[in-house]
Structure formats: C-alpha cells, structure tokens
Amino acid sequence: MLALALVICFIVTVLITPLVKRFAIKIGATDKPNHRKVHQKVMARLGGLAIYIGFLVGFIILQPDSGYTVPILIGSFIIIVTGFLDDMIELSAKWKLFGQLAAAAVVIYGGVRVELINLPLFEDQFYLGWLSIPLTLLWIIGVTNAINLIDGLDGLAAGVSSIVLLTISGLAIMDGNIFVASFGMILLGSTLGFLVHNFNPAKIFMGDTGALFLGFMISVISLLGFKNVTAFSLLIPIIILAIPISDTLFAIVRRLVQKKPLSAPDKSHLHHCLLRLGLSHKQTVLAIYAMTAFFGLAAVMLTMSTLWISLAIIFFILIAIELLVERVGLISAEYRPMMNFFRRLANVRRPL
C-alpha cells in the first residue's frame, strides 16, 4: 500500500504541476532574476502547492492514524499559507518567522517533542523536561529554514529532500514505524513528481510554499521517526540532514566572522561555492545529491552499529564535513586549518 500511495502521489504531482504553473503566472507569483540568483529569466514559483496537493491525495489514500495526525495537518496548512503569501507578496522576515512559529507551536502542543537524549557512553538517558519545548521549536524552525536556504538551484531542494525522505522512510519501515513511513512515502512521491518539472532546466520553482512545507514536514517526521533508537537518537536526523544543516550553520558563522547581520543574503552557500570551483549547474546539484546520499547511508549504518563503531562513524563524518567546508570555502577562502595541518604533516614526513 505504501508503494502504491507513492506512485499515485508521483503521478498526481506530475500532472498537477503544469496547472499550478499556469495559476502562478496568472496571479503574479513569479521569481524575477537579480544579482543573488542563478536563473536568468522570470520563473513561476508556487510549485510547492503541487507538492502539497499530491501529499493530500496520498494522505486520503493511506489515512495514517495517530494522535499526531491532526496537529501535523494543521501545522502543515499554516506553513503552506505562510509560503503562499511569501511567494505572492514577499512577507517580511518577522512575518515568515511568525508563521513558522505558529505551525511549530501547533505540533508541539499536539505532542511532537524531543523529550530525551540518549547517552550511550554512560548507558543512560537525559530527560529534557521543560527544555523539550524550546529545543523542539529550535529544531523545527532550524530545519524548515535549512531546506529553504538550499533552494538555490534547479532541483536542489527537491532532490535533497527526496533523498532525506527516502532515508527517513526506509529507517521507519525497518523500525516498524508505519505512521512515519506513511508520511515519508507520500511526501517522497509528491516531491519526486515535482522534481520532474523542477530539475535543470526547471520549468517552475517550488518557492517558499514548497521549501517551507518540505522543511517543516521533514523536521516533524524526523523527530517522530527516531524516538525509539537506543543510541544517538538525536544525532540520526542531524546526520541525515547534515548538508542543509551544515550549510545553514556555516552561513551563520560566515556572517558573524564578516560582521554582517544574520539575515543578510550572500552568494557563499554550498551550491555557490561549488559553482565557483568550476562545476556546472547540473554537476553541482548532482554533487550535493551524492553528499546527501552519503550522509543518509552513514545514518543507516549508525542505527545498525555497535557503540564504538558508531563513534568511529561520527568522528569520520565530522572530519568529512570539516574538509568539505575548507575545500569549497564555505566560511572563507582563507579558512583551511585542517588542510594546512595535513600539508604541514606531509612536509615533516617527507624525506630530505
């Protein structure tokens, strides 16, 4: 049934996206090129509406039943309205944040929370108590905006989200979590259906309607999907989302180092850096897909590994992220402490 729902969501979204494109052009929901953007012509946005319609069709088919269902549906509707308004009239940052906070508050009130953190080294669990609410809020808002920030190239956010959803759904199926698997699969089918029209050269953008919706839904189902993982439960979704989360965190670091406002736009995100290294548009997108798949595979391995192997995987992931940041210049072209260390080490060992 899950596979059938995925296929139906895919077909529905493929068919509905051209209609959404016409609707977006008719109401003026278009994206005009400027100095910060890669595209060179006016593009219809609002494509996220097609993803949302496909998602609703899948929900009607599977009807996943849980106490979380209604809060998630209400929260997703709030986030869709927020994205729709932003694609139409370009909301200010504070109103976009207000919409995200409202959506997050609904699902938190409905019981979606980070309630504890597993501490496998000490064979114990740390219960967060009242801290669970601000931590959950930070996670939902952070992931929602992380997906939004990587939406800078044709097919990038949709493809990365698809890989993330595939990983979450697969782990949920392995864990017997049918509720999360149901949401993950219908979202995956809808996102892949949209990607048919969004991959380079894109015919339509997902806009904030799609990026905020996907980010919000991924943040919520990732929390629900790993409550029963005994080791490093909070790290699993972080690793799955390593690329968008890293891009966002280093954007914050970059702006702090450069003494710029955190909300200041720039062209130094991961995809911008890869383009500057000489990769083409498609090569950049495919490279980031590969990175996302790598971290998804690492997360799967982490759930099946012993404690010490898990620690080795985490250490390797941290080294990989740092080397990636330095190689592409995600903070700055001069920031290369680890690469310089390895270079000095190589010079020391080189025979005279």
Q: Give the Cα separation of 283 and 174 in Å (integer).
A: 32
Binding-site residue positions: 148, 208
Q: Are 197 and 207 in contact, with CB atoms under 8 Å apart?
A: no
Query: What is the tens place of the pLDDT at every residue in 170-200?
Result: 999 988 899 999 999 999 999 999 999 999 8
Binding-site residue positions for Mg(2+): 148, 208
Q: Give the Cα separation of 125 and 114 in Å (integer).
A: 12
- DSSP-H helix ranges across the chain: 2-27, 48-62, 69-89, 93-109, 132-149, 156-175, 178-198, 207-225, 235-240, 242-257, 270-276, 281-304, 307-328, 337-349
Q: What is the dihedral of CA 57, 63, 64, 67, to 10 degrees?
A: 110
Output the pLDDT for position 233. Answer: 58
Cα atoms found within 13 Å of the Cα of residue 163, Cβ hemisphere only: 28
Question: Positive or negative, the Cα torsion across 138, 256, 150, 240?
Answer: negative
Residues 6+ apart with CB under 8 A from 128: 114, 115, 116, 117, 135
Output the pLDDT for position 338. Answer: 83
Total domains in the chain come to 1
Residue 214 has pLDDT above 80, yes or no: yes
Query: What is the tens place of the pLDDT at every residue in 241-274?
Result: 999 998 888 888 887 777 777 666 677 788 888 9
Residue 53 has pLDDT above 90, yes or no: yes
Phi and psi torsions of 43, nearest 5°: -125, 140
CA proximity to 171, closest of 226, 109, 210, 110: 226
pLDDT band at residue 124 using 50, 70 and 90 as cut-offs: low
Whether the model clears a pTM of 0.75, i.e. scores above it, the answer is yes
The whole domain housing 260 covers 2-349
Residues 6+ apart with CB under 8 A from 126: 116, 117, 118, 119
Output the pLDDT for position 231. Answer: 47
